Amino acid sequence: MTIIEKIIANHGLKEIVKPGEIVNMTIDVRIARDFGGPNVVKNIEDYDLGIDDPSKTFFTFDTNPGGSLQKYAANQQKCRIFARKHGIKIYDINAGIGTHLAIDRGLAVPGSTLVSTDSHANILGAIGAFGQGMGDKDIASAFASGSVWFKVPKSVKLVIKGKRPENIYAKDIVLNLLNRFGANELLGYSIELYGEEVEKMTLDERITVSSMATEMGAIAILFPPNNDVIEYCKKRTGKEVVSVYADEDAHYEKVIELDISKFVPMVSRPGHPDDVVAINEVKKIKIDSAFIGSCTNGRLEDMRTVAKILKGRKVAPGVVLKIVPSTDEVWQKCLDEGIIKIFKNAGALVGNAGCAGCAEGQIGQNGPGEVTISTGNRNFPGKQGKGQVYLGSPAEVAASAVAGYITTENEIPEKPATFEFVIEKNEHKRKSKSHTVENRPTKLQGKVWIINIDNIDTDMIYHNKFLVITNINEMGKYALGNLKGWEDFAKKAEKDDIIIAGKNFGAGSSRQQAVDCFKALGVQLILAKSFGAIYERNAINVALPVLTYANIDSLELKNRDSIEVDLKEGILTNLENGKSVKISKFSDIQMQIYQKGGLLN
């Protein structure tokens, strides 16, 4: 049998298995991340399942260690509560990437099995173990029963011959493989790597190559463990390690030989990891940013390579370099060895250990039109942001960050490329337009919403998770969505409505959206006993009338009564009973801004 066949047979209580056979196999390590973990929890709770073995079950929070998005923070806390209830260990936001932790913390060893909600769980091939990413129902089943079913894949033996060139990094090796096989020639196969240069590869290098089995469509890229890997795993687990190797008469669907001496530094072009070309074809392409990290290239050896290139150098003007070690252990070693200082002196942003650019919400994402070179494993449109992403080795990315364009470490220029600043002459002339005050009504009528609450802050009015929205028309549906009891306000509000609130309305941040969301809904006026200072300015400047009152009890107002407000005279009238009270009135400046439709008109 091949390596993967032996592992599956060992965990399926079978003497022998063959490709195509479906086996129910025991899983040694079961992991759910903050991405997918909450759905695993939901499935277990919905189906009233238990936990088979808490000692083999883990949560890893690696996609968004900072919890910088509310949904991630909520998901992480949901998993924490579940873990406390069931005695499950969490590798929390300070730990790093789960698949790396499985190796470094001795959870997985050569010949073992691991499943995770991480599609790159086949990184475990680096130590000759079975690792697979699976959906939340599979992982929930593994949590509850300790096993999953799996179809035995066909195996390919890939023999690497020749001598490895000095300028070829592990990322170059896997990109050369992607260039040769594309995304589907080895689809569904388990690949075993052999050869003299393969035997020499370090654990960090093996992790880089195994990580991108997913991008090749392969089930796994398996390395037969060498002595260094075995000793590393023994040290980390504190136990003897029995590795699994293929039999001499193992059957392979294909045996392929490649000459590593012909490998060249390569880069994936934006859109598809398998769109791989020699770096010479894309040299000198100007970049806006660079990212170093991910489960593919966030190891200590990667950090040392980057530090060697950055030492004594600066990131090119206008270029942003983001660096994220894969685990906290790597981060700490970078700190101990002075590597973090080199990064900071060069002008890089260093983030918490984790997945970083591959996950929404953590550093590494890019914006529309931004050109990035990254050590990540994927560059699908939208995966690492809205811009264009090239994939390369840590050495290439570091060199490019210094040069300001895509290049290699041997061709870093003395002076970096810079962005040209083109100051455009304002030749656009506005059409002739009168800026005299308009005849906007100074008496406003509408139905009232009485929100008898003090200190309604801007987060209650418009939550910060929606601050990325720039289209005012989209903001209305989120108005008051974070105010308890008023979450459905946007659905009930009607055009020309008027809001009456308590003291200090609009306290908190300076976000303009907390004003614009009401304008988007067609709310024409807000009355309050007092306003947050910035909020009042923001409202006045966009011509949303805001006025204060002292006491309006005599009006006997009820929700949805019709009222009239005289902005000029400062009179509030309940149209249902004709009663009126004095309130504040527009100042001359407020009236002027209101009449011209906003400060900037």
| 432 inside domain | no
Q: For residues 91 and 80, give the distance between their C-alpha atoms in angstroms, rounded to a whole number.
A: 10
pLDDT score for 419: 87
Query: Which of 393, 411, 429 is the C-terminal boundary of a domain?
Result: 411
Is the CA virtual torsion 249, 250, 254, 256 positive or negative?
A: negative
Per-residue pLDDT of 438-472, as tens digits, reads 689 999 999 999 999 999 999 999 998 888 888 99
Question: Comparing C-alpha atoms, which of 502, 503, 500 is closest to residue 557?
Answer: 500
pLDDT tier, 71 (very low <50, low <70, confident <90, very high otherwise) = confident
Phi-psi region of 386 (alpha: psi -120 to 50; beta: other; left: phi over 0): alpha
Does one domain contain both 249 and 296?
no
Query: Which of 228, 244, 262 is the C-terminal boundary of a domain?
Result: 262
More confident position, 435 or 104: 104
Per-residue pLDDT of 286-310, as tens digits, reads 999 999 999 999 999 999 999 999 9
Q: What is the pLDDT of the chain when averaged over all its residues?
A: 93
pLDDT score for 363: 80
pLDDT tier, 431 (very low <50, low <70, confident <90, very high otherwise) = low
Q: How many residues does the chain have?
A: 601
DSSP string, 50-67: --S-GGGEEEE--S-TT-
Number of domains forming the structure of the chain: 3
Does one domain contain both 353 and 384?
yes
| 429 inside domain | no
Does one domain contain both 205 and 270?
no
Question: Comparing C-alpha atoms, which of 461, 473, 456, 546 is closest to residue 511?
Answer: 461
Q: For residues 414 and 406, give the distance between their C-alpha atoms in angstroms, rounded to a whole number.
A: 15
Does one domain contain both 164 and 273?
no
* Percent of the chain scoring above 70 in pLDDT: 96
Does one domain contain both 217 and 83?
yes
Query: Which of 207, 237, 262 is the C-terminal boundary of a domain?
Result: 262
| 431 inside domain | no
pLDDT tier, 514 (very low <50, low <70, confident <90, very high otherwise) = very high
pLDDT tier, 512 (very low <50, low <70, confident <90, very high otherwise) = very high
- Give the bridge partners for 31, in sequence order: 58, 116
**Secondary structure of residue 447 in the 3-state scheme:** strand
The pLDDT of 577-601, averaged and rounded, is 95
Q: At what angle do helices 203-211 and 227-237 cross, to 10 degrees?
A: 90
Does one domain contain both 323 and 343?
yes
Range of the domain at 492: 443-595
Q: For residues 505 and 247, give the distance between their C-alpha atoms in angstroms, rounded to a whole number.
A: 74
**Secondary structure of residue 541 in the 3-state scheme:** helix
Measured CA distances, 312 to 7, 293, 315, 333, 334 (Å):
48, 21, 10, 20, 17
Does one domain contain both 305 and 323?
yes
Does one domain contain both 221 and 314?
no
pLDDT tier, 426 (very low <50, low <70, confident <90, very high otherwise) = low
CATH code at position 513: 3.20.19.10
| 421 inside domain | no
Per-residue pLDDT of 186-228, as tens digits, reads 999 999 999 999 999 999 999 999 999 999 999 999 999 999 9
Does one domain contain both 193 and 179?
yes
| 586 inside domain | yes
Q: For residues 236 and 233, give the distance between their C-alpha atoms in angstroms, rounded to a whole number.
A: 5
Q: 173 and 209 in contact (C-beta within 8 Å)?
A: yes
Q: For residues 486 and 463, give the distance between their C-alpha atoms in angstroms, rounded to a whole number.
A: 13
pLDDT tier, 254 (very low <50, low <70, confident <90, very high otherwise) = very high
Question: Comparing C-alpha atoms, which of 578, 586, 504 is closest to residue 545?
Answer: 586
pLDDT tier, 578 (very low <50, low <70, confident <90, very high otherwise) = very high
The pLDDT of 338-345, averaged and rounded, is 98
How is residue 21 written in tokens?
């056979």
Does one domain contain both 133 and 255?
yes
Phi-psi region of 160 (alpha: psi -120 to 50; beta: other; left: phi over 0): beta
Q: For residues 498 and 507, give the distance between their C-alpha atoms in angstroms, rounded to a whole number.
A: 19
More confident position, 510 or 280: 280
Measured CA distances, 572 to 331, 525, 595 (Å):
63, 12, 20
Place of tokens 């949901």: 78
The pLDDT of 536-543, averaged and rounded, is 94
CATH code at position 206: 3.30.499.10
Does one domain contain both 468 and 568?
yes
| 422 inside domain | no
Least confident range from 57-61, 187-191, 357-361, 405-409: namely 357-361
pLDDT score for 374: 94
The pLDDT of 89-108, averaged and rounded, is 96
Q: At what angle do helices 339-346 and 300-310 cross, to 10 degrees?
A: 50
Count other C-beta atoms under 10 Å from residue 486's C-beta.
18
- Give the bridge partners for 564, in sequence order: 445, 573
Q: Which residues contact 185 (CB under 8 A, 6 or more apart)?
A: 217
Q: For residues 129 and 6, give the distance between their C-alpha atoms in angstroms, rounded to a whole number.
A: 11
| 13 inside domain | yes
The pLDDT of 254-265, averaged and rounded, is 97
pLDDT score for 39: 93
pLDDT score for 386: 84
Please determine, for residue 428, whether its predicted confidence score (pLDDT) is greater than 60.
no
Does one domain contain both 255 and 323?
no
The pLDDT of 419-438, averaged and rounded, is 61
Q: 298 and 330 in contact (C-beta within 8 Å)?
A: yes
Q: 147 and 26 in contact (C-beta within 8 Å)?
A: yes
The pLDDT of 102-130, averaged and rounded, is 96
Measured CA distances, 373 to 54, 285, 313, 411 (Å):
41, 10, 18, 16
